Structure 1
Amino acid sequence: MAISFGISAQAAGIPGLAAIAMSAFVYAGSAQFAAVAILAQGGSVAAAVLAAALMNARYLAMGVAIGPSLKGGRTRRALEGQAVVDASWALANRGEGRFDRHTLFGSSAPQYVTWLGGTVVGVLAGGILPHPENLGIDAIFPAFFLALLLGELKTAEAGAVAIGGAAVALVVGLMAPAGIGILAASAVALIGAVRAR
């Protein structure tokens, strides 16, 4: 997946060093793939950044949930919270608001190394590897987002938000410039998350 991101980012016109920096500092596959998809469709950098920020808004709620399980004052907890990604947060969850911080760090560290390393391989080998579309790797984008969506469909409310977001993305995506459909769907999901709390 990370190799595909590196190749796709360059194909979308993102310089190799910028793609590697994005993996190093953003470290959020869904947001990075969304940004690349928007740029590949001719969308603006502002739309790509906004879509990535909206997609990563879920980390605010995840951070609030895991915060009490982290150690130290605000600064230390903020630094420890940088290890939170979807998989590490889920693996560290012990239920009833408890999280194992060692599991958080132990599961996030290898993910970070492989994500960053895979991006580097994709960027460096992208010129000699076939374009993702020629391998069917372009199907990773919709499959990746579908997998994220299915993982969230645990309640009727979540299903309603997902269907609403998909409908908005489809309708707005057909009528508006590239990237606006994803932004609109992200806004629907964010509103749904706020109302569910």
Structure 2
Amino acid sequence: MSFSEPITTSGQIRNGLKKGFVIVLSSAPFGILFGAIAIDNGFSMAEAALMSAFVFGGASQLVGIELFGHHVAAWMIVLSVLAVNFRHVLYSAAVSPIFGRFPLLKRCLSFFLLTDPQFAETEKREEQTPVTFAWYIAMGGVVWIGWVGNTIVGALFGSLIGDPKAIGIDVLLPVYFLGLVMGFRKRHNFLPVLVAGAVGSVVAYWVVGSPWHISVGAALGIVVAAILPPPGASDHDVKDPALETEAA
């Protein structure tokens, strides 16, 4: 285990700010796109910014705003957003041992700031050195401010983008998520879980449609991960010949 990362509070904050700034740059197109779409669907700039500030859920915001623009029933919008954000239930369970080290109020704030890249970076850092609240809040705060700021930029200048599909912006989100997934490629049973989730999601997309395919793919990946043996299980299955001789 490496402890090369800075251990002082100021060092942790600097590292968190750096990680957060990278995330802000990579997520900027999504925030700008959301701001533009929100304006197109009748939101004011203030309403779009407030939605980003309080919902803070990129993909679910895009889904919700599109459904809102098509005058879909409120209960259907809520269920669709729940389907998209179902993965956060899994994220929360995974990081609970980490957040359990924080006081209650800090723990609640940490869960609010838990996004896809925040989860990925937190898991990777915990493998090297214990995650502190100073590091986490520095990264999460930068990402939150950047997301709201990019939403405002999109609301102001989104009309200059034109058709997102014409310049390939519509593929940025799946490419971005693929990059996050590949960051865990060295994890135990990564490939079978990835294949199960991908196949389940594609099949569900054609059978039940979007956004439910996200939850179906995630659920299938969980089932496969639960069935497969955990790390080191094969070592425990090897019997000691000496013990077998004594038993005989």
Q: TM-score range by the shorter chain?
A: 0.7 to 0.9
1:82 aligned onto 2:112: yes
- Corresponding residue of 1:188: 216
- Aligned residue among 36, 52, 55 for 1:7: 36
Gaps of 5+ in 2: 1-28, 183-189, 227-248
- Corresponding residue of 1:17: 46
Deviations 1:121-151 (A, max 9, x none): 222334xx325416835x4334312431464
Residues 196, 217 of structure 2: 8 Å contact kept: no
CA distance in 2, matches of 1:61, 1:157: 14
Deviations 1:57-88 (A, max 9, x none): 22222223223323444444222322222222
Gaps of 5+ in 1: 173-180
Q: How many residues align?
A: 186
How far does residue 183 in structure 1 lie from its aligned partner after superposition? 3.1
Q: How does 1:152-171 map to 2 (within 5 A)?
A: 152=181, 154-171=190-207
Percent identity, aligned pairs only?
22
Q: Secondary structure at the match of 1:8?
A: helix
- Corresponding residue of 2:137: 105
Indicate the structure (1 or 2) with the bigger Cα radius of gyration.
2
Q: Secondary structure at the match of 1:99?
A: coil
CA distance in 1, matches of 2:203, 2:43: 29
Aligned partner letter, 1:85: T
- Corresponding residue of 2:147: 115
How far does residue 161 in structure 1 lie from its aligned partner after superposition? 1.9
TM-score normalised to structure 2 length: 0.62
Deviations 1:159-193 (A, max 9, x none): 22222212322344xxxxxxxx2132133134225
